[in-house]
């Protein structure tokens, strides 16, 4: 597979294999694990522009980063241009040179609020949001879907609008909003978006292996790929895609637990790492029994003890 750096405005990524923003998962510790496994760029969880405006403690915690993490992009969502620009200018986004605007989230609550994928139906507002955010001085990128339904596919048209509004890169999820995360990826629409613009285009959807990523690049001509759910089951998929050497699953899990523990309380660490262990163990012999034990663990040390039994 063709690996290369990507120039996004004034910044250059290590490679063209990115980690998608995943609500509830792409926190500091998980991003660090993926970055060390080879991800060229990682994104924060989706952050509410209004949450930043009104000083939500939880929203601000989602934006924690440090020098160990390296280049990271923040992703924000909202539908008010002024509020979105203010979010870009917020002190909590100061460590992030790249800010991505979510225009693809299919979750009903987000969509009904006129945010996320709802902006695909209001391209004029989407353009206005990007134009305002660019004024903040941040490098602005946009992540969107190919349409709401298959009856109206808008990848190329929307890509042109985002480029015209000042976006420095776009990521296109090759499914429509109504498909959520299921169904076939539409390579034709992804290729149309790539051919419509001069800025870099990252293709997203259906990457669970080296072969998947290679096909996505070959079929669409995209500049890079974005990995989402596959990273939850195996963060070292980035090793597979970039040629880095894997470490043991036990060592990986211990690192993620330690980094989560540094930032979060014992309860959050326990609950979060139980979920991660359940992802990691999928497909292994005795997985069901281990999951049952994992979800009865009450401390991070108990979770680690069970993980050691699983992976030796």
The mean pLDDT of the chain is 94
pLDDT band at 130 (very low <50, low <70, confident <90, very high): very high
Percent of the chain with pLDDT over 70: 100
CATH number of 249-311: 1.10.1200
- What's the pLDDT at 46? 95
In Å, how far from its chain's centre is CA 63?
Answer: 13
Contacts within 8 Å (CB) and 24+ apart, 49-52: 49/76, 49/77, 49/78, 49/80, 49/83, 49/84, 49/86, 49/87, 50/78, 50/80, 50/83, 52/76, 52/86, 52/87, 52/90, 52/92, 52/93
134 phi-psi bin (left φ>0, alpha ψ -120 to 50, beta other): alpha
For residue 182, what are the contacts with CB-CB under 8 A and spacing of at least 6? 175
- What's the pLDDT at 309? 85
Domains 7-242 and 249-311 belong to one CATH topology: no
* CA angle centred on 228, ends 41 and 252, rounded to 5°: 75
Q: Report residue 293: phi and psi, to 5°.
A: -70, -40
The pTM score is: 0.95
- What is the C-alpha separation between 227 and 173, in angstroms, rounded? 11
In tens, the pLDDT along 36-95 reads 999 999 999 999 999 988 887 778 788 999 988 889 999 999 999 999 999 999 999 999
69 DSSP 8-state letter? T
- What's the pLDDT at 56? 78
Q: Region 126-154: what's the mean pLDDT?
A: 96
For the record, the structure tokens of 222 come out as 């995209």
Picking from 91, 78, 93, the residue whose alpha carbon sits closest to that of residue 43 is 93
Please report the DSSP string for 137-152 in residue order: TSEEEEEEESBSSTTS
Protein fold of 7-242: TIM Barrel (3.20.20)
- What's the pLDDT at 290? 84
- What's the pLDDT at 72? 96
- What's the pLDDT at 142? 98
Picking from 244, 278, 273, the residue whose alpha carbon sits closest to that of residue 39 is 244
Helix, strand, coil % over all residues of the chain, rounded to 5:
50, 15, 35
Q: Region 125-129: what's the mean pLDDT?
A: 98
Q: Say if CB 236 and CB 210 are below 8 A apart.
A: no
Asked if 264 is an active-site residue, the reply is: no
- What's the pLDDT at 269? 96
pLDDT band at 117 (very low <50, low <70, confident <90, very high): very high
pLDDT > 90? residue 287: no
Residue scoring higher pLDDT (144 or 295): 144
- What is the C-alpha separation between 280 and 292, in angstroms, rounded? 14
Q: Say if CB 28 and CB 60 are below 8 A apart.
A: no
pLDDT > 90? residue 178: no
In tens, the pLDDT along 21-42 reads 999 999 999 999 999 999 999 9
- What's the pLDDT at 289? 84
pLDDT band at 11 (very low <50, low <70, confident <90, very high): very high
Q: Domain limits of the chain?
A: 7-242, 249-311
In tens, the pLDDT along 245-266 reads 999 999 999 999 999 999 899 9
- What is the C-alpha separation between 306 and 293, in angstroms, rounded? 8
Catalytic residue among 34, 42, 88, 105: 105
- What is the C-alpha separation between 47 and 45, in angstroms, rounded? 6
Q: Report residue 15: phi and psi, to 5°.
A: -155, -175
- What is the C-alpha separation between 241 and 209, in angstroms, rounded? 8
- What's the pLDDT at 303? 93
């Amino acid at each position: 597979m063709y690996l290369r750096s990507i120039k996004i405005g004034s910044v250059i990524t290590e490679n063209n294999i990115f980690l998608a923003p995943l609500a509830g998962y792409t926190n500091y510790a998980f991003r660090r694990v993926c970055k060390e496994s080879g991800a060229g760029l990682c994104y924060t969880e989706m952050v509410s522009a209004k949450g930043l405006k009104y000083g939500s403690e939880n929203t601000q915690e989602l934006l924690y980063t440090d020098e160990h993490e390296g280049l990271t992009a923040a992703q924000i969502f909202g539908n008010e241009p002024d509020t979105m620009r203010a979010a870009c200018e917020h002190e909590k986004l100061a460590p992030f040179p790249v800010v991505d605007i979510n225009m693809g989230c299919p979750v009903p609550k987000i969509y009904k609020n006129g945010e996320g994928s709802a902006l695909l139906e209001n391209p004029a507002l989407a353009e206005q949001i990007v134009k305002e955010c660019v004024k903040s001085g941040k490098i602005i990128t946009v992540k969107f879907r190919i349409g709401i339904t298959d009856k109206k596919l808008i990848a190329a048209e929307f890509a042109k609008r985002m480029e015209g509004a000042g976006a420095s890169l776009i990521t296109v999820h090759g499914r429509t909003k109504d498909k959520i995360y299921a169904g076939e990826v539409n390579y034709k629409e992804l290729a149309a978006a790539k051919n419509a613009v001069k800025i870099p285009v990252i293709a997203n959807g259906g990457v669970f292996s080296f072969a998947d990523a290679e096909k996505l690049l070959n079929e669409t001509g995209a500049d890079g790929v974005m990995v989402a759910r596959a990273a939850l089951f195996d963060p070292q998929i980035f090793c597979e895609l970039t040629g880095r050497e894997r470490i043991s699953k036990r060592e990986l899990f211990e690192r993620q637990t330690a980094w989560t523990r540094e930032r979060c309380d014992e309860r959050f660490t326990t609950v979060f790492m139980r979920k991660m262990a359940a992802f990691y163990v999928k497909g292994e012999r005795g997985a069901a029994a281990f999951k049952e034990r994992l979800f009865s663990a009450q401390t991070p040390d108990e979770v680690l003890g069970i993980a050691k039994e699983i992976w030796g």
